[in-house]
Amino acid sequence: MSAVARTDVTVLDCTLRDGGYYTNWEFEDALVEEYLKACAATGVDVVELGYTQFTPSDRGAYGRYPSGGTPALRDALPDGHGLRFAVMLDATALAEVPAAEAGPRLRRLLADGPLPVDLVRVAVHHSRTAGVTDAVESLRGAGFGVCLNLMQVDLATPAEVAELVRLVAGMGPLESVYVADSLGSLHAPRIAELVDQFKVGQTAPVGLHGHDNQGFALHNTLAAAQAGATWLDATVLGMGRGAGNTRTEQLLAALGTDQQALQPMLDLVARRFEPLMTKYRWGASALYAIAGMRRIHPTYVQRLEESLERDVEVKLRALDFLARNRKTSFAPASLEDALRHAAV
pLDDT the model gives residue 112: 85
Residue 266 maps to a domain: yes
Mean pLDDT of 183-204: 95
Contact of 119 with 178, CB cutoff 8 Å: no
Secondary structure letter of residue 205 according to DSSP: P
Sign of the four-CA dihedral 114, 87, 116, 244: positive
Pairing of the two strands 84-90 and 206-209: unpaired
Does any domain span residue 1? no
Residues 6+ apart with CB under 8 A from 333: none
Q: Indicate whether 126 pLDDT > 80.
A: yes
Q: Are residues 166 and 118 in the same domain?
A: yes
Co-location of 192 and 296 in the same domain: no
Confidence of residue 93 (pLDDT cuts 50, 70, 90): very high
Read off the pLDDT of residues 197-214 as tens digits, 9 standing for 90 and up.
Answer: 999 989 999 999 999 999
For 9-26, the pLDDT digits (tens) are 999 999 999 999 999 999
Query: What local confidence, expressed as pLDDT, does residue 3 receive?
Result: 60
Residues 249 and 307 in one domain: no
Q: Tell me: the pLDDT tens digits for 49-66? A: 999 999 999 999 999 999
* Domain coverage including residue 311: 286-342
Same domain for 47 and 70?
yes
Burial (0-12, 13-18, 19+ Cβ within 10 Å), 273? buried
Domain assignment present for residue 159? The answer is yes
218 and 296 share a domain? no
The H or E element containing residue 165 is: helix 158-169
Estimate to the nearest angstrom the gap between the alpha carbon of 62 and the chain centroid: 14
Whole-number pLDDT of residue 277 = 96
Q: Does 43 lie in the same domain as 159?
A: yes
Q: Residue 140 domain-assigned?
A: yes
Buried b (16+ CB within 10 A) or exposed e, 171-184: beebbbbbbbbbbb
Whether 136 and 49 share a structural domain: yes
> 290 with 319: CB under 8 angstroms?
yes
Q: Please check whether residues 206 and 226 belong to one and the same domain.
A: yes
Overall domain count for the chain:
2
User: Of all residues in the chain, what percent carry a pLDDT higher than 70?
Assistant: 99
Bond into 264 cis (ω within 30): no
Both 249 and 292 in one domain: the answer is no
Q: Distance of CA 43 to CAs 7, 169, 172, 337, Å?
A: 10, 30, 29, 46
**What sign does the dihedral 180-37-269-68 (CA atoms) show?**
negative
Q: How far apart are CA 153 and CA 192, in angstroms?
A: 13
Domain boundary among 278, 303, 323: 278
Share of the chain above pLDDT 90, in %: 91
Q: Residue 204 belongs to a domain with what CATH number?
A: 3.20.20.70
Domain-terminating residue out of 262, 278, 294: 278
Residue 2 clears pLDDT 60, i.e. is over it: no
**29 and 96 share one domain:** yes
pLDDT band at 134 (very low <50, low <70, confident <90, very high): very high
**pLDDT higher than 60, residue 289:** yes
